[in-house]
Chains A and B, each alone.
Chain A
């Protein structure tokens, strides 16, 4: 009993130290990236709000492989790219960033990309289900046919165990 409790405590302690180790592991890169963040502040100012559909997908997507997040993120990012190019080409400063973010065309484009990914995500399961139903039916027919040919050529006893 005592040894069991000890082992449990040990596990908890290990988990705690791992957590602490993980936080420490993140802190250092963040500190290293802080100057970069300062330099990229206008980019973050533009990308942050325009990537809102991706943030929403990241919050909603609880799957292990996070396909939804990737899908929305990639399309959203590709649609944010023209706004970022405008920022980077017209002056990477706060005023330009505010001008870019104030342009509704950029908002429309960014949310159109994210929305499109969302729409595909929502429409895809019925399509895949329909596809699989047809595929399953065809495959079953083929398998039954092959099995019938085997039974015709080798008799019913072919269904017995292979030696």
Chain B
């Protein structure tokens, strides 16, 4: 696998060379590289924050008594940096590579690209600093500071929310321009997902950062906040993730997507059912029951959508299963898809009111969220970065062994964390229902929290190895021959 004298050229190698040549003309590689660099930076800070807050549960939190590094505020940094710092940066970087190659056109402006890069990192630092100063707002996954005192128009900090909106509009200009120009030809499904994701991001962000803060309160505020939580994941992160998978999986496997009809069904079913799920974050509350039942049913419908998409991808891999063993990006992608299926299957069951009764308010939910955000979307982003980094720097990997260490540490660590939090959630839920005194529940959960911290340490270590590897790869010039990473060099 490390040999550079493979039997070549076949069709694959020829095509790959062609693709590289077209990428060199269309893609602004430094932009991709810098977005990935910041993505990795925020991934490390976010995971460090997550690891630290897990220590609070074990009475080992090191910054006890320091207000700006207080448990609650650092916990906000954990979720917001992974969503907006890591995922968004990694998605933007991948879009700078994918969109020009899908449309055959450059993005609107590379100058604008550098502005977006700077604006977005500024907003991320402003978010984290604002949260440390106590300006995080009380909307889950949208804790980016509005800059205003809650419910008033009294400005006390940088209005990050509104600037993010501005950044999202810049993103739309950047990527929708080439897509709109390419629209006269047949649009590949990736572009559907990507353009829809960008437009939905703008709408979702406006909705979630104005209505619950200044107009709606109580149960109707909760309905909108739930809608925001879910739209952000369902209408931005998910379309971006799948859009990129529809691009990267076929070009790495060198196989067309199995069924285009199925991919279009998957897209429209996502567009229709996903946004209807919002209220399932506040089930069994004083939101009208009709709305809650609607959310439960459409959440179940999403599982059917997901199945079609996952089937499509596994059928695409038909006959090329060995790629899972030989090709690390493909392994990240498909592990993510298996986790995606598990997450959504989990949704199917735990959105029902009888399961909600037990698992809501418990560790089950963070377990579920980690599987989605880390196990699916972060895995895909890591896979994309792993595939692109040698192509961006022109250097071969400093150590492929480290990449494998990262994969196994992250995968096993995440799986331990997931199972552990699920078990903790069930314990908590049943003990709470049995009216066990609160402090006895806390004591009973402690072993689970110890395992969680251990698993978190494994994941963090995996990412540290990855960042070290990326850094060393950039530094050591060792010419990269993309032919070594072809899935089927012999078959060509």
Say whether A associates with B. no
Residues of A at under 8 Å CB distance from B? none
Chain B interface (Cβ within 8 Å of chain A)?
Answer: none
